[in-house]
Homo-oligomer: A and B are copies of this chain.
Amino acid sequence: MTMTPVDQASGQDSGAESEFDRGTAVTRRGTEPSVYDAELDAGWRIGSGINGGLLLALAGRALSRHLGDGTGHMDPVSVSGYYLSASRPGPAEVHTATVRTGRTLSTGTASLLQRREDGTPVERLRVLASYGDLAAADGDVRTSATPPEMPPPDQCIGTEHAPPAFLDQADLLRRLDLRLDPASVGWALGQPSGQGRIQGWLRLPDGRRPDPLMLLLAVDALPPVTFDLGLFGWTPTVELTAHVRARPVPGWLRVVHSTRNLAGGFLEEDAEVWDESGRLVAQSRQLAVVPRPA
């Protein structure tokens, strides 16, 4: 696994040149301005599909353009994605619509679809979301939430140490600089903790700074928390809602995934993302399908 070294440049925004920005780029159609064209890059694969967080960020970027135009509501505040079918590398379209334009929030929908060879559309992801301007947010903070404790990044475990069988199916990991807390990786050694918790440090290896759109990827970028329960195999997402609570400062993100209730064939997977200033910048929960025993 190639890992681009990042030093003090971690705060440097390489803008549209970054892999993340290329992977979530959308082009507005001149003839149909609510439709955006995109290309799903195989480098963001997990299993045979494209990572759900990347798709959410891509649809989220189209909605940012669509809702932000004229309102300044460019930042995702609450984004709910319902995953309908597995995406494949190749062309995709995002069809957006405004539901309501308000003073502080604008709400809209996005439908990410791909086409069969005969042109029939197949919807992959439906999004309902509210956008605002997080820079305008009131500064008052009263929080009882505290950042997770974990060793510094250089004492954590890079994903190059993940089982090869997993890496082979997770091209996505080559696009992330992810360092897992050693206490979270027992599953890789055949000793899952059983606690249902995986946490680590995350940044983009090319130095692209975190921002609200990148947080939509961050909430779904770690290995499935079911690994820590000794359940391998994929956990398809039914629904994921992310709340972006603040714009992150440059630097590392700390990400915690946890689950408390695996029952009836589903589990919830909660994610919290903290920025380098120690602020809780995103919270999410997804409902996922429990993997079947191999």
Q: Residues on A close to B: CB < 8 A?
A: 77-78, 80, 82, 84-85, 99-100, 102, 105, 107, 109, 123, 126, 128-130, 134, 137-145, 195-196, 229, 238-239, 241, 243, 245-246, 260-266, 268, 279-280, 283, 285, 287, 290
Which residues of chain B are within 8 angstroms of A100 by Cβ–Cβ distance?
84-85, 123
Chain B, residue nearest A144 (CB) = B260
The 3 closest A-B pairs by CB, nearest first: A137-B264, A138-B265, A145-B260
Which residues of chain B are within 8 angstroms of A143 by Cβ–Cβ distance?
260-263
Q: How many copies of the chain does the oligomer comprise?
A: 2
A181 to chain B, nearest CB (A): 18
Which residues of chain B are within 8 angstroms of A134 by Cβ–Cβ distance?
264
A27 to chain B, nearest CB (A): 25
Interface of A is mostly: strand
Which residues of chain B are within 8 angstroms of A239 by Cβ–Cβ distance?
78, 80, 130, 241, 243
26 A-B pairs whose Cβ atoms sit less than 8 Å apart in the complex: A78-B238, A78-B287, A80-B82, A80-B128, A82-B99, A82-B128, A84-B99, A84-B102, A100-B123, A107-B126, A109-B109, A140-B262, A140-B264, A141-B262, A141-B264, A144-B260, A144-B261, A145-B261, A239-B241, A243-B268, A243-B285, A243-B287, A245-B264, A245-B266, A246-B264, A263-B279
